[in-house]
């Protein structure tokens, strides 16, 4: 009898509704982190220093004018101008500025172009995790497994796009780029 009256109590109903709502919100948030945009993965990710990271000798914040042969824009995407530095190496700057905010080494990049720690296109997943450690976050996009390393203090990300456990693309950029 007491259990039946307890279940009919308004406090129990309110408590059960709050518990169900909390569970629903938590589940929706986890789904958002799993399926959401790149920045969603940063919320729970650990941070590690990328302060000295460069791709193929090019660093974030560097002026595009300081490249050996300053390239001309090849592609305008949103608020950014993309430049083809050489075969398979691209950089991006905010429109009408010359500061590099993204560096990409694609599948056909010169093998001499690597990260500061020596990982290049065609490195293996084993080599990557041996040198950089476990990724701060993982996500999937366009069929690739993406291992991401995040520096929250410097607002930078380093992502390795892997196909068949081999690096096919490396991207170093400011974390707020989409």
**Res 65: pLDDT:** 86
Does residue 178 carry a pLDDT above 70?
A: no
Q: Evaluate if residue 29 carries a pLDDT over 70.
A: no
Provide the pLDDT for residue 81: 87
Q: What is the pLDDT of residues 96-117, one digit of tens each?
A: 888 999 999 999 998 899 999 9
Cβ proximity of 50 and 151 under 8 Å = yes
pLDDT, mean over the chain: 83
Whole-model pTM: value is: 0.75
For residue 89, give every residue at least 6 positions away whose Cβ sits within 8 Å of its Cβ, in sequence order, or none: 55, 56, 58, 103, 104, 105, 106, 109, 110, 113
Burial class for 170, CB neighbours closer than 10 Å (0-12, 13-18, 19+): buried
pLDDT digits 0-9 by tens, 6-25? 556 777 777 777 787 777 77
Judged against a pLDDT cut of 70, whether residue 132 lies above it is answered with yes
Instruction: Tell me the pLDDT band of 32, cut-offs 50, 70 and 90.
Output: low
Which pLDDT score, from 0 to 100, does residue 117 have? Answer: 95
More confident call, 48 vs 27: 48
| pLDDT score at 46 | 80
Nearest to 174 by CA among 35, 78, 86, 61: 61
pLDDT of residue 31: 59
Q: Quick one: pLDDT at residue 33? A: 53
Q: Is residue 42 very low, low, confident or very high in pLDDT (cuts 50, 70, 90)? A: low
What's the pLDDT at 171? 96
User: Quick one: pLDDT band at residue 38, thresholds 50, 70, 90?
Assistant: low
**Quick one: pLDDT at residue 136?**
85
Is the confidence at residue 1, as pLDDT, over 60? no
């Amino acid at each position: 009898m007491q259990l039946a009256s307890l279940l009919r109590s308004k406090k129990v109903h309110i408590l059960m509704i709050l518990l169900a709502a909390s569970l629903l919100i938590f589940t929706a948030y986890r789904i958002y982190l799993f399926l959401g945009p790149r920045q969603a993965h940063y919320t729970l990710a650990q941070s590690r220093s990328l302060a000295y990271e460069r791709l193929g000798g090019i660093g974030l914040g560097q002026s595009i004018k300081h490249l050996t042969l300053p390239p001309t824009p090849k592609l305008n995407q949103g608020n950014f101008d993309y430049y083809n530095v050489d075969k398979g190496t691209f950089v991006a700057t905010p429109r009408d500025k010359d500061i590099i905010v993204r560096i990409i080494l694609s599948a056909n990049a010169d093998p001499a172009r690597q990260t500061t720690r020596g990982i290049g296109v065609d490195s293996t997943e084993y080599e990557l995790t041996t040198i950089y450690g476990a990724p701060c976050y993982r996500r999937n996009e366009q069929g690739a497994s993406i291992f991401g390393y995040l520096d929250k203090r410097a607002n930078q990300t380093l992502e390795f796009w892997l196909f068949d456990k081999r690096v096919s693309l490396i991207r170093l950029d400011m974390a707020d780029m989409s």
